[in-house]
Amino acid sequence: MNILFFKLALIAYFLSTIGYVTSILVKRVLVAKTSTWILFSAFIIHTIYIVFRWMETGYSPVINLYESLSFIAWAISGSYLAFQTKTKTRILGSFVSPVAFLLMVEASASGGLVGDVSMPAILKGWLVPVHTMLSLTGEALFALACLSGIMYLIQDSFLKKKKSYSFSRLLPPLRDLDRINHICILWGFPLLTLGVIAGSIWARTVWGSHWQWDPKQVWTMISWLLYAFLLHQRLAIGWKGKKAAVLSILAFAILLFAVAGVSILFVTVHNFI
């Protein structure tokens, strides 16, 4: 039953991606507005799916890779939709929507779709879902910060080159992009921090120590430090614009590596299923 909702959500993400891309090509606001509504329904269906899955399996739906990818897609779409209600940044949707769609495709490709996964005993308890859900939501917000950072750099280079580009009309103003970048990091940072703390408390109960010097932990910590630095520069020194955008992209690249790349390249204890 819940697989049906997953597939419906996947289709809706696909449709909204098509819609957003079309809206850029034909430059019609109505198409973009429709795409936002499709993305919104994708988010609702996805929410239903996650709730059903939770009820069906009896554990939080963020245990294996497939569930995590799907959860990130859900969190990114949700955060973007929340921004959409506040600012005129519809174009951000055409960056968010494909990302969510690809995450969903990746999720369905990573094989967890077919019903039950056996739940290792050590992952039982409430700390694991708290750890994963906080971390993943933080990561989703950082992804959004990264996307708006990329758009900032594009718009900035248009303005510095002093030519009239039709694509530049579609991008939001610099100030809005900078604000989104800032707000996402402002919210993402405490979430990731709490997530990591929850994880380390759990680690102590299972492995006997808070910190393992595991590659995944190390890389996450590097990126966490970069975000901490960025947040400090923004709040204390008053960094704005380009520098902040560049650093938020770099920090996210490292975080992405920690989340996805490490398990492939290194042996990590942070690998469960």
Partner 1 sequence: MSIILIGMNHKTAPLHIRERLSISCEEDSGRTLNEIKKISQVHEVMYLATCNRVEVLANMEDVEGSAEKLKAIILSHGNLSHEEMKECLYIYRDDDAMRHLFRVASSLDSMVMGEPQILGQVKAAYRYSVEQKASGIILNKLLHHAFRVAKRVRTETGIANNAVSVSFAAVELAKKIFGYLHGKTVLLVGAGEMSELAAKHLMNNGVSKIIFANRTYENAVRLANDFHGVAVSFDLLVEKLREVDIIISSTGASGYVITEEMVIEALRRRKNRLIFIIDIAVPRDVAPTVEEIDNVYLYNIDNLQEIVDENLRSRMGEAEKAETIIAEEIVNFASWLNTLKVVPAIVSLRKKAEDIIEGELEKSMSWMRSLNEEEKEKIKILASSIVNKILHDPITSLKDESQNSGADPYVAAIMKLFRLEEEK
The reply to whether 162 sits near partner 1 by the rule CB under 8 A is yes
Only segment of 14-22, 48-56, 136-144, 170-178 that touches partner 1 (CB under 8 A): 170-178
The reply to whether 173 sits near partner 1 by the rule CB under 8 A is yes
Kindly state the smallest distance separating residue 28's Cβ from partner 1, in Å: 8
Cβ-based neighbour number of residue 21 at 10 Å: 15
Q: Which amino acid type is present at position 181?
A: N
What secondary structure does DSSP assign to 211-226, as a single string? ----HHHHHHHHHHHH
| One of 11, 174, 197, 256 touching partner 1 (CB under 8 A) | 174
User: Which tokens in the block code for residue 198?
Assistant: 């929850």
The reply to whether 1 sits near partner 1 by the rule CB under 8 A is no
Kindly state the smallest distance separating residue 156's Cβ from partner 1, in Å: 9
The reply to whether 241 sits near partner 1 by the rule CB under 8 A is yes
How far is it, in rounded angstroms, from Cα 217 to Cα 248?
19
Angle at 9 between CA 8 and CA 15, to 5 degrees: 90
User: Which tokens in the block code for residue 236?
Assistant: 């204390």
Kindly state the smallest distance separating residue 253's Cβ from partner 1, in Å: 21
CA dihedral (142, 45, 23, 85) positive or negative: negative
Between 58 and 238, whose beta carbon lies closer to partner 1?
A: 238
User: Which tokens in the block code for residue 127?
Assistant: 């700390």
Which residues would be at the binding site for partner 1 (CB under 8 A)? 27-28, 88, 155, 159-160, 162-164, 166, 168-169, 171-176, 237-243
